Structure 1
Amino acid sequence: MTVLDARALNRATLARQHLLERTDTSVRDAVAHLCGLQAQQPQEPFVGLWSRLHAFQPEELDDALTGRTVVRTHLMRRTIHLVTADDALAWRARHDAMLRQRVLATYRRELAGIDLDEVAAAGRAVMSDHQPRTMAELVQPLQGPWPGPPRRVLGELLVAALIPMAQLPPRGLWHKTAGVRNLPLATWLGRDIDPLPADGSDQVGQRLVRRYLAAHGPAATADLRAWCGLAGLPSAVKAVREQLVTFRDARGRELLDLPDAPRPHPDTPAPVRFLPAFDNAILGYHDRNRLIDDAHLGLSVAGHRAVLVDGRVAATWTVRDQHLHITPLRPLVASEREAVHAEAQDLAAFLDQGMDHAPITVAGADN
């Protein structure tokens, strides 16, 4: 069986994630291909799309959100994602059990003895007038029947697990600061959530496997679980296995992939790219070593924005005092610094916050 080393996996990931070459596809199609963008920090997806799409303009994502072709919702791993309307409706029922389990695992003591179906029915009754509500507005009528759980816990149970919700614009629009207003997905999108097949087949899971591999492969089943949070996918993997090809990584893990998916030569040049916080190019795996060194894995879950140099996380970046500050994680040679600075200048212009230069900082000093 062919062994793919870390560099081969790196280049495959960059190609699937549109980070090796920017693409001309639409925002809606890019979000669909990527299987969504992690979006708990509302402004971050704009940088993720800027790094992936030619001539991306923020109003393109704004239009997709206000036009309801892309939606903000709790989905993979119980985190907020931007996904297409079609994917939100097709995938949500398949994620229901996981979403409930994760909320219960987090708040087991606070929710002890609570009948979840009764809470869900009461929440749906509150939302039956089709009016957007904040979490507090949704929870307030329920605190009489359920006075025990803290308001925040009861609210998270409702909006993250029991009732499939959309977070409505202006939340998530470019340079907008807005609180969360919730509306049931079916109400916002004008279509009911797709039910799971009555025959018990896992067609949704099978499509998830193929879609994940198209955007993240080659990957192990552990990577797939880490991305979506779903544990019950072995049957889906088994059902599609004959349609896939297999490899090994340097650690001996079996990797699955689509036969015709791009796997560029390991020596393919990789341009500098700026990633937003919690980008799925890094978080979409159990083994994240294909993009980030073990010594820096903590950065990927701590909200640090990453700079890819030769395809790997080599620096972090932030905006401070109207300047784009870059902190290398290793020494950068002159050509790398020049490439980072050039991409940073373009990013600064995109962010449009009056930034006149993009210094590379090391221990507080410009380099």
Structure 2
Amino acid sequence: MLSLRDLNRATLARQHLLRRHEGSAADVVHRLAGLQAQEPRPPYLGVWTRLAGFGRDELHRDLHAGTLVRATLHRATLHLVTAGDYAAFRPLLHPVLAAAARRFEGVDADAVVAAAARLLAEGPHTFNELRPKLLKEFPEADQRHLGYAVRMLMPLVMVPTQDRWSFPRDPAFAPAGVTLDPAPSAEAFAERYLAAFGPATAADLQAWSGLGGLASVLDGMRDRLEVLTGEDGRVLYDLPDAPRPGGDVPAPVRFLPDFDTLVLGHADRRRIVADEHRGLVTTKNLRVRATYLIDGFAAGTWQIKRSGKKARLIVTPFAPHRPDILEEEATALLAFAEPDATQRTLEVAED
């Protein structure tokens, strides 16, 4: 039987949050089967907290080389993934994306996608540029519905720029330019998830991906998976050779960015975020706040405030704790996130 702490440590080990990975940024992104990338900066911070010696330029180069791409995938949200994983994952997740597009009635999706493909063949477009052009061809439609249908149904990637975090606020999109896997494997997809987030339930896998029908996939893989039990009696699946170091292994302080994939990786998030703190992490408008981990579990939220040359990392603890235990990691994070600041401080938010 696996305790909650056992699950916590097993997942942290796979997420490179017990010890930073010695390798490349692309390695980390691949090992995690993608990082949530709703905004430009969080993936950089997500890699930084998991990779030893990481420099911003490495991820920037990978994006410009096309080794890594930022595109719509799991749960119909933006993710940073390797180009190879995009080719494998996008066909599997098509039902998720198509279902999201069907929320809007009165849109001839095939015709809209054909029109968008013709426009994007001329060159990359932001959606603020693309939507008015589509509206001219489909004047009875809502232009935001048109844009959303294109975003969900076309294999598109964001075009990186020379911006600090590789993308502007209003990024351009272009056709993905990769050959999608004609025979994607749901079993391989499930194995990738377990390698990054396991041990886990079928509900966890479905919550992470947004894709239904995966319980039967995992059940059909029992002969090559370990079937375990949680302390609450739930059935957990895992890879036989995946790390499970035990709940008594020390876990260092770690800072996770907004929308971090770890926080969103399970239906039951208690292995990282206690139920009583969940509402403090995910807001009513579905923003997922940046969190920090003490002893492996979310102990508060954080944000960086910049004023002139001064950068402040402000933490809001869920319960009182010694702020000095955050100092070393917070100082390193500020140096990475705000390298041109001449004064960097850690502060505790006032009640």
**TM bin (shorter chain):** over 0.9
Structure 2 residue 339 is matched with structure 1 residue 339: no
Name the aligned partner's letter for residue 304 of structure 1.
R
8 Å contact 1:348–1:355 — kept in the other structure?
no
Does structure 1 conserve the Cα–Cα contact (< 8 Å) formed by 2:195 and 2:242?
yes
* Deviation (angstroms), 1:135: 1.0
Q: Is residue 341–residue 360 contact of structure 1 (8 Å, CA) maintained in 2?
A: no
Task: Structure 1 unaligned segments of length 5 or more: list them.
Answer: 106-110, 198-202
Calculate percent identity across the aligned residue pairs: 40
Name the SS for the 2:304 alignment partner.
strand
Q: Is 2:15 the partner of 1:17?
A: yes
1:261 maps onto 2:247 in alignment: no
**1:203-233 deviation line (CA, Å, top 9, x unaligned):** 5211110000000000000000000000032
Q: Indicate the SS of the match to 1:71.
A: strand
Q: Residue type matched to 2:7 in 1?
A: L
| Structure 1 residue 149, shift from structure 2 partner | 2.6
Q: Within the alignment, does 1:181 sit opposite 2:172 as a pair?
A: yes
Residue 112 in 1 paired to residue 101 in 2? no
Where does residue 296 of structure 2 map in the other structure?
311
Partner of 1:143: 135
SS in 2 for 1:246: strand
**Counterpart contact for 1:31–1:84, Cα < 8 Å:** yes
SS of equivalent residue, structure 1 residue 327: strand
Residue identity in the other structure for 1:149: A
Aligned with 2:159 (options 159, 168, 180): 168
Matched residue, 1:88: 86
The CA deviation at 1:315 is 1.6
Unmatched segments (≥5 aa) in structure 2: none
Could you tell me which residue of structure 1 aligns to residue 25 of structure 2? 27
* TM-score, with structure 2 as normaliser: 0.93
Match of 2:317 in 1: 328
Structure 1 segments of 4+ aligned residues over 3 angstroms from their partners: 175-178
Residues 20-46 of structure 1, C-alpha deviations (whole Å, 9 max, x = no match): 000112111110010000011110111
* Inter-CA distance 175–122: structure 2 relative to 1 (3 Å threshold): closer
Deviation per residue, 1:159-184 (Å, 9 max, x gap): 2x121100011287537644210101
Instruction: Please say if 1:155 is aligned against 2:147.
Output: yes
The 3-state SS of whatever aligns with 1:73 is strand
Could you tell me how far apart the structure 2 residues matched to 1:347 and 1:136 are? Answer: 34
Which of residues 121, 134, 137 is equivalent to 1:128?
121
Q: Compute the displacement of 1:362 (Å).
A: 4.1
SS at match of 2:200: coil
Q: CA offset at residue 359 of structure 1?
A: 2.6
Q: Distance in 1 between matches of 2:89 and 2:324?
A: 43
Contact 1:42 1:172 in 2 (8 A): no
Asked whether the equivalents of residues 90 and 180 of structure 2 are also in contact (C-alpha less than 8 Å), the reply is yes
Which residue does 1:272 correspond to in 2?
Answer: 253
SS at match of 1:98: helix
Q: Aligned with 1:148: secondary structure?
A: coil
Q: Say which SS state the counterpart of residue 282 (structure 1) adopts.
A: coil
